[in-house]
Amino acid sequence: MSTVDTVERIGLDRRLWRGVIAVAAVLLIAYPLLSDDLFYQNMIILSLVLAVGAVGLNIIMGYAGYISLGQSAFIGLGAYTVGIATTRIGGDPFVWVPLAGLVAAAFAALLGVIAMRTRGFAFVIITIAALFILQIVAINWDSLTQGTSGITLPLPRWDISIQNWPFYYTLIALLGASLLLSWWIRRTKIGTGLLAIREDEDKAATIGIDTPVYKIIGFMASAVFLGMAGGVYGYYIAFIDPTAMFDIVISVQIILAVILGGRGTLWGPVLGAATIEPLNELANQQFGGGNSRLLIFGGLLTLTILLLPKGIIPSVRDLLERRTKRGRAALVGGRLGERRALNGRPATATGGTGRNLLEVKGLHKHFEGVRALDGCSFAVEEGTITGLIGPNGSGKTTAFNLIGGTMRADAGEVWFDGRRIDRLSPWRRAYAGLGRTFQITRVFTDMTVLENVVAPLRSFSWRQLRAGAVSGEEAARAEELLAFAGMAEYRDERAEALSFGQRKLVELAQVLMLDPKLILLDEPAGGINPTLIARIAEMIRELNAQGKTFLIVEHNMPLVLGLCEPVLVLASGECISTGTPDEIQRDQQVLDAYLGADFQLEEPVAAP
């Protein structure tokens, strides 16, 4: 949720807020022209560097939820790039600033590649390690970096009356650029993808989000302008050495700026940076820096996590939300909206085409002690609505997990559309045309309904990634799907507010966004009222008529018997029977499976 929304809630007019920002920006730009005070100019310059760092960190941490304690590594890399290039090759340091950005981005990509198979906290570890290793390299590789003696840059050659203006304005430009980048990312599918990763990375993978690539993009975006700012900063200080350039406290300050200001908001990090830097100055001037600085920022970090884990802006927002519970239409139990039929060419033939779209061969999967799937094999014919039933513990959801890719099988093969997919990542399976819903719905609660449906990626293309999340082609498509599901009027509501049944509809719309060939539905009728069940059945039939194949796990027998043909029966991890609903109902084997293995005791247990 953006700062603007929060501001709206406080009651301020959107335009007033924009006015405030505009005035602040003008003041900032005009300041050096109005005042000669180098002290405050210095403070602003340092704040700007922090702000660029915070805005960047917000992309990987605020949006994607991956915390980096190593952002100051990019400052150091940028500074050293400019320093080394200027002293070795020559030219004006400013010329090398773009290169500094490239170097930082490249390093971020490298770290990303190493970290991409790990999760959450392993990423923090890698960023800390990266920062320290760079410091060690800077100290020891003295033929390149002059080691601890540092690199001294020549003093600026411009007119002294201009003072620090070049630094000042370059940094403002960099801050502007990073804000633009952050804003742009947030309003495209890259942004929705990153948010999805933060909320539910596994679910994001199943809707086509190539999580490692997204994370690398996010991380590179956090690095590029910070690297440039680092280059400028290095020139500004004119002395580049390992301790000052790879300073962990600056990393902590950047994190604090994001956390205090509010993760995930656009202006929050800037606000945070503007708060942190004066504190830094205070620590240095009044308390002699060093240990006091450590104490203040370490303590602040600790206290912030303990007391205000969400940050100032979101905490204020939550506080206000609790007070002004305006009658946002009680969405829970709300009536179902009107449904629109799908536009689309009907399939040339209804019912099965005779070709197997999905084939599962000899799947084995066991968890500690339990055999969930034991040589399970079955096939789903293209164009059918196939049911998958079986008693509890028969392996149905495990089978879905293996087919969809959220789990790896111990043995066996999964073939889809003529290709073997059991080694593919979940997003590649989505690109191949496989979609899946979950028994307990998984939607991204922090995003709006529309963003939820826009987030999926049909195939990996820059065109799709660049597409707008709330307007443009992709958004239009998403709206169409929402209308189909009858959820169009909820498009701007946060998914968190939806009822269980409404979330099911949104999840279905998400899956349809992938334009899948096969849709796996996990208990679509579970926990919802008969009217909604009927509607979902209607939707399934309509989609099937347009050529989509379904595999449905269900416990609701009347639904299965009325909707599906054929029906597959799983028991004890194997497929024991397949046939028409009538045949299944009369199959003794199936009955046995439901009532339990025919178990005969030698002697009775106890006298009644």
Per CB under 8 A, contacts with other proteins among 83-142 are: 114-115, 117-122, 124-126, 128-130, 132-133, 136-137, 139-140
334: left (phi over 0), alpha (psi -120 to 50) or beta: beta
578: left (phi over 0), alpha (psi -120 to 50) or beta: beta
At its nearest, how many Å lie between other proteins and the CB of residue 529?
4
Question: Among residue numbers 316 through 345, which ones bind other proteins (CB under 8 A)?
Answer: 333
CB nearer to other proteins: pick between 501 and 566: 501
Residue 285 one-letter amino acid: Q
Structure tokens at 576: 């024991």
At its nearest, how many Å lie between other proteins and the CB of residue 509?
17
At its nearest, how many Å lie between other proteins and the CB of residue 559?
9
CB nearer to other proteins: pick between 65 and 234: 65
- b or e along 459-497 (b: 16 or more beta carbons within 10 Å of the residue's beta carbon)? eeeeebbebbbbeeebbebbbbbbbbbbbbebbebbbeb
605: left (phi over 0), alpha (psi -120 to 50) or beta: alpha
Q: Which one of the spans 90-98, 268-276, 351-359, 557-565 is the region binding other proteins (CB under 8 A)? A: 557-565
Q: Give the other-Cβ count within 10 Å of 428's Cβ.
A: 17
Considering the rule CB under 8 A, would residue 43 count as an interface residue with other proteins?
A: no
Considering the rule CB under 8 A, would residue 207 count as an interface residue with other proteins?
A: no
At its nearest, how many Å lie between other proteins and the CB of residue 299?
5
At its nearest, how many Å lie between other proteins and the CB of residue 506?
14
Considering the rule CB under 8 A, would residue 289 count as an interface residue with other proteins?
A: no
Q: Which one of the spans 159-167, 286-294, 485-493, 506-514 is the region binding other proteins (CB under 8 A)? A: 286-294
Its sign, for the CA torsion 550, 554, 560, 565, is positive
With contact defined as beta carbons under 8 Å apart, do 311 and 262 qualify?
Answer: yes
C-alpha pair distances (Å), 207 with each of 423, 509, 512: 17, 11, 10
Question: Among residue numbers 482 through 501, which ones bind other proteins (CB under 8 A)?
Answer: 499-501
At its nearest, how many Å lie between other proteins and the CB of residue 22?
34
What length does the chain have? Answer: 608
CB nearer to other proteins: pick between 498 and 543: 498
Considering the rule CB under 8 A, would residue 377 count as an interface residue with other proteins?
A: no
Q: Which one of the spans 185-193, 213-221, 244-252, 513-521 is the region binding other proteins (CB under 8 A)? A: 244-252
Three-class SS of residue 607? coil
At its nearest, how many Å lie between other proteins and the CB of residue 3?
23
- Select the residue interacting with other proteins from 527, 534, 583, 589 (CB under 8 A): 527
Considering the rule CB under 8 A, would residue 155 count as an interface residue with other proteins?
A: no
- Select the residue interacting with other proteins from 85, 255, 483, 568 (CB under 8 A): 255
At its nearest, how many Å lie between other proteins and the CB of residue 57?
12
* Burial class of residue 368 (count of CB atoms within 10 Å of its CB; 0-12, 13-18, 19+): exposed
Question: Among residue numbers 354 through 373, which ones bind other proteins (CB under 8 A)?
Answer: 368-372
Considering the rule CB under 8 A, would residue 257 count as an interface residue with other proteins?
A: no
- Give the whole-angstrom CA distance, residue 412 versus residue 571: 18
At its nearest, how many Å lie between other proteins and the CB of residue 348?
34
Considering the rule CB under 8 A, would residue 288 count as an interface residue with other proteins?
A: no
Q: Which one of the spans 36-44, 226-234, 261-269, 553-561 is the region binding other proteins (CB under 8 A)? A: 553-561
Question: Among residue numbers 416 through 475, which ones bind other proteins (CB under 8 A)?
Answer: none
CB nearer to other proteins: pick between 129 and 379: 129
CB nearer to other proteins: pick between 156 and 311: 311
CB nearer to other proteins: pick between 224 and 407: 407
Q: Which one of the spans 2-10, 34-42, 159-167, 301-309 is the region binding other proteins (CB under 8 A)? A: 301-309
- Give the whole-angstrom CA distance, residue 16 versus residue 459: 41
At its nearest, how many Å lie between other proteins and the CB of residue 524?
13
Q: Residue 55: which residues within 8 A CB-CB, separation 6 or more?
A: 175, 178, 179, 182, 225, 269, 270
At its nearest, how many Å lie between other proteins and the CB of residue 599?
4
With contact defined as beta carbons under 8 Å apart, do 68 and 111 qualify?
Answer: no
Bridge partners for 33 per DSSP = none
With contact defined as beta carbons under 8 Å apart, do 240 and 83 qualify?
Answer: yes
* Torsion, CA 573, CA 578, CA 583, CA 586, rounded to 10: -10
With contact defined as beta carbons under 8 Å apart, do 506 and 485 qualify?
Answer: yes
At its nearest, how many Å lie between other proteins and the CB of residue 566?
16
Considering the rule CB under 8 A, would residue 14 count as an interface residue with other proteins?
A: no
Its sign, for the CA torsion 76, 82, 85, 88, is negative
- Select the residue interacting with other proteins from 173, 294, 320, 331 (CB under 8 A): 294
Q: Provide the mask over 560-599, with x wherever binding to other proteins is found by CB under 8 A and - wherever it is not.
A: xx----------x------------x-----x--xxxxxx
C-alpha pair distances (Å), 170 with each of 49, 59, 183, 449, 589: 11, 21, 20, 39, 77
Structure tokens at 81: 């790039």
Considering the rule CB under 8 A, would residue 245 count as an interface residue with other proteins?
A: no
